[in-house]
Structure 1
Amino acid sequence: MTVAGLYRRALPSPPAIDFSSPEGKKLFTEALHNGTMEGFFKLISYFQTQSEPAFCGLATLAMVLNALAIDPCRKWKGNWLLTKHIYR
């Protein structure tokens, strides 16, 4: 018996749009053309998936803090500052 999980679950449409769908590609192209994609590029370079379903907040926090180039000036445990290029 197969148990329903999170893997490859269909997006609720609307309002969610699959990024790789024709409509998602159209929205991406329009936003790129209009110059409203700057936030996306800063975030996507630090994108990481959550390691556990309950860790969505931690993964998001690590991604946003890295994109904002916030350096705590100390060594941390966990996902934040996994890269060696510390902003000083």
Structure 2
Amino acid sequence: MTPSPIITDHALLRYMERFYGVDTAAWREAMASDVAAALAAYRGKHERGQQAFVMSSAGRVVTVLDERVRFLIPSSQPAVAIPRIII
């Protein structure tokens, strides 16, 4: 029996973009605006259960959290959870 292929998030994003016309550039701009607002309002604390952007020490947004996700930051890859500001 052939195992089912594993679809990465990157492949899924490109599939949506290239075959279904999802405008990833527009979504990136929308997310960048949300991240900028969150950073401007950041007070150094993220409460469990808050929506958040997880940013690496290199300044890259590496994932996002919703109310259901618990995130543990590995000590080998320092990052911070920046609460998402909902306007």
Give the number of the structure whose alpha-carbon radius of gyration is greater: 1
Structure scoring higher RCO (CA < 8 A, sep ≥ 6) equals: 2
The structure carrying a bigger strand percent of its residues is 2
Query: Is the structural similarity TM-score above 0.5?
Result: no
The structure carrying a bigger helix percent of its residues is 1
TM-score (normalised: structure 2): 0.31
